[in-house]
Chains A and B, each alone.
Chain A
Amino acid sequence: MDKQGIMESHQSSVIISDFNSLCVEDSNQEVQTYMEEIIKSNLEVVTLSMLCEKPMSGHDIIRGIFSRYMVLISQGTVYSLLYSLKEDGKVLSISNKGDMRTKKYICAGNKIKETQTKLIRFVDTMEYFLQSIKKELHVQKLPDRF
């Protein structure tokens, strides 16, 4: 999958629609639990994919993850991750004119290719993993995002 493909697959409207239907169809807590585990285990990937789209603050990321996946991530975790990504040079922080205290983060220009490659590898790996499970289970139909 190319960069454009990653971006398109993360269009929030599509994701919210799919995830809501998934929850309704299955009507159980299990899906939510899986989603929470997946998001928490892959928070760096989720965050970097969001920061490749546009500059976001810690608040934006927490709100964005909740609206997309119905998973609430702790402030202590998200801000630690952002500071850590900044230390590693993967993201840059920028301040808005007129609101110097709100920091927005964006993927660092010199690392963007590396970050995109990492995201692509992650998506490819997950796709392979999910396809393997689908084959094993002979699942007739799952939502498109699977």
Chain B
Amino acid sequence: MFKNCLTGFDELFAPECDIPAGSVVLVTGIEGSLKSSFVFNLISNYLAGSNSHAVYATMEETEESYIRNMTSIGIKKMDNMHIFDYRDMRHEFKDVVPDMIKITEDMINFYTNKYPDLSIFAFDSLNALYSVLPPENLRKIMYHFFSMLREKGLTAFLILETSSREKHSSIWNSDPMERPEFFLADGVIELGMIETTENVKRYIQIRKMRAANHSMKKYQLVVEKDGIHVFGSVY
């Protein structure tokens, strides 16, 4: 159950509802909205005391950097979470245009063979992936990518950063043909910030979650000594 993995996260779901296993979930938000930390924390707590395994694939940071950042906010990396760093490969094959989807599929196949209990996959981030994909075939490639993830039967969290509030809005208003991930995803969890005259609050909102009744409200996201907690509605 994912909804019990962060304090207060269950408030966003109706009783008996959760992120359905096997869903492909987009986690989107502006910089500093805790996207990576949220996903890392959710998975770490899910894996704690579990026989399941997860792969956290990163195109953004090194494993050491992730662990340092997560440790600083009280999030532990579990032994059954395996970090795949595309940066080594991209550096060593810098003169080759990588087939990222094939590479990702082979990587998932490797970990699935080694750990039959592999059930979670996280990808950080789609923005970095787009930078190495041919833009003219983006929709087709992303359709294949999402289909591949569904065929593997893994619950997948795909991180998508929006660099500013303005850009964030434009993404939601843009032609879905240009933003295929939003309609291809089974779920969309939005993280963001709300500024008031007195302070700034981080929030979490489930924009979409197929096969699960959920609140549409924005809930406060707070970092405590032991990681991320979800508090009551921000309004």
Contacts and interface: CB of A to CB of B under 8 A. Distances in A.
B88 interface: yes
Interface stretch (B30-38, B103-111, B204-212, B219-227): B103-111
Contacts, number: 54
Nearest to A86: B63
B88 A101 contact: yes
A80 B111 contact: yes
B interface secondary structure, majority: helix
Contact of A75 (B85, B89, B109): B89
A115 interface: no
A102 B91 contact: yes
Contact of A77 (B91, B93, B109): B109
Contacts of A84: 82, 110-111, 114
B110 to A, nearest CB: 4
Contact of B103 (A57, A76, A83, A87): A76
B27 to A, nearest CB: 23
Given A59-B93, A74-B102, A74-B106, A79 B111 contact: no
Given A57-B88, A57-B92, A79-B89, 8 more contacts: A76-B105, A76-B106, A76-B110, A80-B106, A81-B110, A83-B83, A84-B111, A103-B88
13 contacts: A74-B103, A75-B93, A75-B103, A76-B104, A77-B106, A79-B107, A80-B84, A80-B107, A83-B82, A84-B82, A102-B88, A102-B92, A103-B88
B87 interface: yes
Interface in A63-100: 74-77, 79-81, 83-84, 87
B99 to A, nearest CB: 9
B98 interface: yes
Given A59-B92, A76-B103, A76-B107, A83 B84 contact: yes
A interface secondary structure, majority: helix
A58 B102 contact: no
A80 B110 contact: yes
Contacts of A101: 87-88, 91
Nearest to A76: B106
A49 to B, nearest CB: 19
A127 to B, nearest CB: 26
Contact of A79 (B88, B109, B114): B88
A58 B92 contact: yes
Interface string B185-216: 00000000000000000000000000000000
A81 B102 CA distance: 16
Contacts of B107: 76-77, 79-80
Contacts of B110: 76-77, 80-81, 84
Interface in B104-139: 104-107, 109-111, 114
Most buried by B among A75, A81, A87: A75
Contacts of A74: 102-103, 106
A79 B106 CA distance: 10
A80 B111 CA distance: 7
Nearest to B85: A83
A79 B82 CA distance: 12
Nearest to B79: A87
A26 to B, nearest CB: 29
Nearest to B101: A76
Most buried by B among A57, A77, A79, A80: A80
